[in-house]
Amino acid sequence: MQKRAARPNGFPRKRFRFHPAQIVAFGFAGTILIGTLLLTLPIAKVGPGGATFMEALFTATSAVCVTGLIIVDTATYWTGFGQVVIMLMIQIGGFGIMTFASVIGLAVLRKLSLRARVTAASEVKSVGLEDVKGLVVGVVRISLIAEGVVAVMLTLRFMIGYEEPLGRAIWLGVFHAISSFNNAGFALFSDNLIGFATDPWICLPICGAVILGGIGFPVIVQLRKHLRSPLKWTMNTRLVLVGTIVLLVAGTVYITALEWSNPKTLGPLDWPDKILVGFFQAVQTRTAGFNSVDNAGLDSATLLGSDVLMFIGGGPAGTAGGIKITTFAVLFFILWAEVRGEVAVNVFGKRLSRAVHREAITVVLLAVFVIMSSTAALMVMTDISLDRLLYETMSAFATVGVSTGITAGLPVAGQVILILLMFIGRLGPVAFASAIALRDRRTAYEFPKERPLIG
């Protein structure tokens, strides 16, 4: 039996173990590196030679982090091989690296080790280790079913409505179904989905997939079990569902109203088409990144409102980005309780833990710091207006992927900033901070309390 190495004082040497957040971060980074190497192969690019390292790295990061920002045209720059690589990276990134690894482990070993369950639980935000296996299997089953249904709908529409050959129609349907459910926003058309802006048979299935993927896998799993029993829904499920409905309605009204007469966006359309496009933009701005109008033509007020929608994002433990609906809701109820002079923060008949207060505040402050510092850095590098730069950095951090068209024109240093933003946004600011921390700090003492003046 092998003995553990001992220290000079006779005590065994403590083995270093990676924090689950570090394992998840290394998993995403490793997947991005593999995707980058594949995209630099000459077979991945149209024409002679291969893609540059920056082109491949940016695209791979955007795909794995299910963002959708691009610096080269997906439809014309990459070959079929390159597009398949992008699609696979979107699927793996949407599953989650540790979730995908757990699926492979279950397929090969028929079980998950304790370490694998702990790591997967940190990624899917599971509250206990006993339900990790079921949640992982549920994530895969739900993803494949949703993507399959949307792929069939889109395939039929491309084949019947646009007379695409069967093989091409299937490829378009599958790619856009995976891209939409995983909230990636990659499209196989040079103008994204502008050519289908008034086609509900294309736009609505994509919106449905985006919303379903964006509410988060724990919510979907619970709705599948207790759809007709709302009393059994957790606080997380209720917050996500209510928040999603409110934000979708508010976003649609806001964008449609502001852009109603804008000749560059909704102005030339009939009123039913204006509502469809307004709804589509509200859905995509929150999580996905497809666009059915030229975002460069949006009014500055629309860009600012879109920034807010992107910042909030979708549900936790799903394919959406942002600080998450639950985080925003917790801050709202903290504010509501403080204004009313209540001691405890109560939501749907339950009291929020004070630890949740701290987590929500931490996430928001870190997110604001990352976004503001990145925007300021880009302002120093370029002469692009603040509203467009903020829109770009918010889109990258929230892994949305919408853009006013400035991504490819940014200097290399600016594109690197966007890469870091997409990576941090996919992991989450707190998880990223935990991943770069050398160790967990636990103090065995407390300082005396004192209260400063606030406000």
pLDDT tens readout for residues 15-62: 556 666 677 778 889 999 999 999 999 999 998 989 999 999 999 999
Write down the pLDDT at residue 104.
47
- The CA R_g of the chain, rounded to the nearest whole Å, is 23
Mean pLDDT of the 312-335 span: 89
Confidence of residue 348 (pLDDT cuts 50, 70, 90): confident
- Give the integer Cα–Cα distance in Å for 101 and 109: 12
What 3-state DSSP class applies to 279?
A: helix
Write down the pLDDT at residue 44.
96
Confidence of residue 81 (pLDDT cuts 50, 70, 90): very high
300-307's contacts with Cβ under 8 Å and 24+ in sequence apart are 300/387, 301/258, 302/254, 302/255, 302/258, 302/259, 303/387, 303/388, 303/390, 303/391, 303/404, 304/387, 305/251, 305/254, 305/255, 305/258, 306/255, 306/281, 306/391, 306/402, 307/390, 307/391, 307/394
Write down the pLDDT at residue 433.
60
Write down the pLDDT at residue 106.
45
Residue 440 has pLDDT above 80, yes or no: no
- Give the integer Cα–Cα distance in Å for 153 and 423: 32
Question: For residue 312, how many other CB atoms are within 10 A of its CB?
Answer: 22
Residue 136 is encoded by which pair of tokens?
Answer: 């992982």
Q: Which residues contact 163 (CB under 8 A, 6 or more apart)?
A: none
Write down the pLDDT at residue 359.
86
Residue 308 has pLDDT above 60, yes or no: yes
Where would I find the H helices in 96-199? 97-109, 114-124, 132-161, 166-181
Distance set, CA 436 to CA 17, 358, 363, 424, 432 (Å)? 14, 20, 16, 11, 6
Q: Which of 91-95, 289-293, 430-434 has the lowest mean pLDDT?
A: 430-434
Residues 149-190 have pLDDT tens digits of: 999 999 999 999 999 999 999 999 999 999 999 999 999 999
Per the listing, tokens 């409905």 go with 245
Residues 182-212 have pLDDT tens digits of: 999 999 999 999 999 999 999 999 999 999 9
Write down the pLDDT at residue 120.
53
Write down the pLDDT at residue 15.
53
Q: pTM of the predicted model, to two decimals?
A: 0.87
- Give the integer Cα–Cα distance in Å for 274 and 293: 11
Residues 226-263 have pLDDT tens digits of: 888 888 888 889 999 999 999 999 999 999 999 999 99
Residue 450 has pLDDT above 90, yes or no: no
Write down the pLDDT at residue 122.
52
Choose between 441 and 397: higher pLDDT.
397
Q: Which of 19-28, 265-274, 376-385 has the lowest mean pLDDT?
A: 19-28
Average pLDDT of the chain is 85
Q: Which residues pair with 347 in a beta bridge?
A: 350
Mean pLDDT of the 341-364 span: 86
Q: How many helices (H) and strands (E) are present in the chain, helices listed first?
A: 18, 2
Choose between 443 and 306: higher pLDDT.
306
Mean pLDDT of the 128-153 span: 78
Where would I find the H helices in 215-324? 217-226, 235-259, 271-283, 300-312
Distance set, CA 262 to CA 288, 302, 389, 414 (Å)? 23, 11, 21, 30
Question: For residue 267, how many other CB atoms are within 10 A of its CB?
Answer: 12
Instruction: Check: CB of residue 31 under 8 Å from CB of residue 427.
Output: no
Write down the pLDDT at residue 119.
54
Write down the pLDDT at residue 86.
97
* Percent of residues, the chain, with pLDDT higher than 90: 59
- Give the integer Cα–Cα distance in Å for 42 and 20: 36
- Give the integer Cα–Cα distance in Å for 297 and 299: 7
